[in-house]
Chains A and B, each alone.
Chain A
Amino acid sequence: MPKVHLRSHTLEPSYDVVIIGGGGHGLATAYYLAKEFGVRRVVVLERAYIGSGGTGRNTTVLRANYKTPETIRFYKKSFDLYATLAQDLDYNMLRSERGLLWLAHSEPQLRNQRERALQNQHFGVNTVFLGAEQVHEVCPQLDMTAGSKRPILGAAYHPPGAIIRHDAVAWGYAAAAERLGVQIHQGVEVTGLRIEGARCLGVETNRGFIGAGAVLSAVGGYVTQIAEMARIRLPIVTHPLQAFVTEAYKPVLDRIVASADLHIYISQSARGELLVGAEIDPYSSYATRSTFPFLASCASRAIDLFPFMARLRILRQWTGVCDMTPDYSPLMGLTAVDRFCISSGWGTWGFKAIPASGILMAELLASGKVPPLMAPFALDRFRWDRAVPERASAGTH
């Protein structure tokens, strides 16, 4: 495994492509621009440190079991790219296939999960519907009565569901991109976009003006502030998403378990911590503070599913901010400003999308043409009543 440290470069006056945001999406786009499309004068500008936003705060689950055809196709590509990512980038990412159970505790969720399994199979994604007895076989650790409150009636089971080391994804892409000549600058904050005649010429930063052939905003929860610089208003509301881990425990949970009725999901990390996440906070906020009401309610639902967790201590709780769209699908593509593209609206599952988003945005920046897999997620789709409704497959992450 190559040693990773970001080299320090002198910031140049201009680049072919300037990418705002050094999270997974920005770094992956930079890597694929250099690797697949031969565009090497690329810079990634990150105001804090790479992977400091959603990429370093998510719950590391990889899956492709979505609901709409557009999204299943997109995430299947992402899932397939993730499968060989460690080899491609020559960087160990501790990817571990666990099998993902999506529990149903009610008749509507049973129908939903059955439909999801069939829809997935139609698009070549391995998801099967399991009755309660089979759920117990796949994950005997579960309390099938969910604390005597919401008995588990069945589940959609997605055997390839996996977890992967999230920091390693950011660092793997960063290191591989640097080897191909991409520059990564941390501590550089974009303060404005220079736009003349509806065309973007570059970015103003705390280190001065940087000219660009094209500019991509790969910013997550703060994308509204970047779009405002181009006088673009987006259908995005920023919500916090919280998660917590317990102290490390012996290997006890080999599956990833999610429940849309209980709004919760649980897995065990390679270090042994039990990782618990839930739905977004019910009101918009840019604060990355963790709250006690979340911790109390989420922990109690976790114990309903796995009673042994009642004896575990909580080690750490944290929060990230998510750019939520009305239909829970991303916003990506061209804007009204020439040479300025946006990749955002990744909401609560941007981490799973990193490789596909990166390679498709790279294709768009290199060719100027919107790739077919990206087209359904156009920024102005609500104007034409073309929402891509994925909320049904959310519930949790």
Chain B
Amino acid sequence: MALMFPCPQCGSRPFTEFWCGGELPDGGHGAAGDIEADYARVWLKRNVCGDQPERWFHHAGCRRWISLTRHTVTNLIHDVV
């Protein structure tokens, strides 16, 4: 069985209907000209082995972004917004 996502609009749908938008960055925007903060936010990844906050886009459904926490080993999903 494919990995299923609980979309708040469409219900439980297979992952092939979604695009993965990657992990949520933990730092905010840097102050103007703060190159270090911007560099870290754009390029450097936490790449968590465990529960990871992520964004997914339901391209073959409601076409909305959803935020959720997915375990990167077990694929268990919770905290869907």
Contact = CB atoms under 8 A, between A and B. Distances in A.
B51 interface: no
A285 B51 CA distance: 11
Contacts, number: 60
Nearest to A287: B73
B20 A382 contact: no
A233 interface: yes
Contact of A233 (B2, B35, B45): B45
A233 B41 CA distance: 11
A386 B68 CA distance: 33
Interface residues of B, number: 25
Interface string B33-49: 00100011011111101
Interface in B1-22: 1-3, 14-16, 19-20, 22
Contacts of B19: 282
A237 B39 contact: no
Interface in A272-330: 282-287, 291-293, 326
Nearest to A283: B20
Given A225-B49, A293-B16, A287 B74 contact: yes
A282 B20 contact: yes
A110 to B, nearest CB: 27
B4 to A, nearest CB: 12
Nearest to B15: A283
A284 B72 contact: yes
B2 A237 contact: no
Given A233-B46, A237-B47, A286 B72 contact: yes
A379 B45 CA distance: 13
B2 A234 contact: no
Given A224-B47, A285-B72, A286-B49, 14 more contacts: A235-B43, A237-B22, A237-B45, A238-B49, A238-B72, A282-B19, A284-B22, A285-B75, A286-B73, A287-B72, A287-B73, A291-B2, A293-B2, A293-B14
Interface of A: 222, 224-225, 233-238, 282-287, 291-293, 326, 382-383
